[in-house]
Chains A and B, each alone.
Chain A
Amino acid sequence: MSQPSLSEALRGVVRRDLLLAMRHRSDVAMSVFFVVIVASLFPLGVGPEPAVLRTIASGVLWVTALLACLLSLGRLFTADYLDGVLEQTLLIPQPLAVLVVGKVFSHWVISGLPVVLLSPLLGLQFGLSGESLGVLTLSLLLGTPTLSMIGAIGAALTLGLRGSGLLVALLVLPLFIPVLIFGAGAVSSSLAGIGSEANLSLLGACFLLSLAFAPWATAVALRIALE
C-alpha cells in the first residue's frame, strides 16, 4: 500500500499541468495576445483623449483580465475530463480540495500571471503613471488568483455539458463582480489620491475567502460531474 504525501501530490498535479502548458506554449501566448488586443481596442472606440482614457483605464483593464480568465476556464478541467486524468485525480488519496488548489494555481500561472506581468505596459497605454501602475499590478496580482478560484467552481459545474463555454460565463460573471469592483476601485482611488489601501485589503479578503470556500465547492462539483 502506498500513499503520496500531500505536498508530493500537490507538486505532481502542478508539475503535470505546467509541463502540458510548456507543450502548448501557443495557448498561453494567445491569452496574452487577447488581452493586449482587447485593451487596445478601447482607445480606438472611446477616442484618444488622455483624461478620458485615464478614468476608464482601471475598469477596462480589469474587465479585460476578467475576460481572459473566463476564456481560459474551459481548459481547466475539460481535457482532464475527456482523457480520464480527472477520474484518476479523484482517486488520489489526498483531499480533492487541495489538489484543486494545485490545478487552479497552475491555471493562474498560465492565464493570470502573464496578464499581471503585462499590466504595467497596458497601463502606460492608458496614461497611468507611477503609483497607479503599481496599484494596478498589485490589484491584479491579488485579484486574478481569486478569479481563477471562483471560475473553477463554474468550470467544474458545467463540465462536459453542451454549450458549457457560454454557460460558464453566465454562472461565473456575477460571482466575479466583487473582485472587479474592488480591483478597479483600488486603481481609481489611487488616481483620485484617496489611497488604495481599503480596496486592496478588501481584495485580499476576497482572496482569502475564496481560498477557504472555492476549492471545496469545486471539489464537490467535480465529484458530482464525474458521477
Chain B
Amino acid sequence: MQWGSVAEFLAMGGYGLYVWPSFGVAALCMGGEVIAVWRRHAAASESHDES
C-alpha cells in the first residue's frame, strides 16, 4: 500500500481533481441508470396492473 494517509489518498499525487471526478461521474452515471431503469419498471408495471 503506497498511501500514507487518507489525505494523500484523496490527493492522488496531485491528480485528485481529475481522478475523483472521473470515478464520481462513472458512479453517478451507472447508479443513475440503475435508478432510472428501476423507476421505469415500476411505472410500467403499475400502469399495467391498472389496465
Q: A–B direct touch, CB within 8 Å, in complex?
A: no
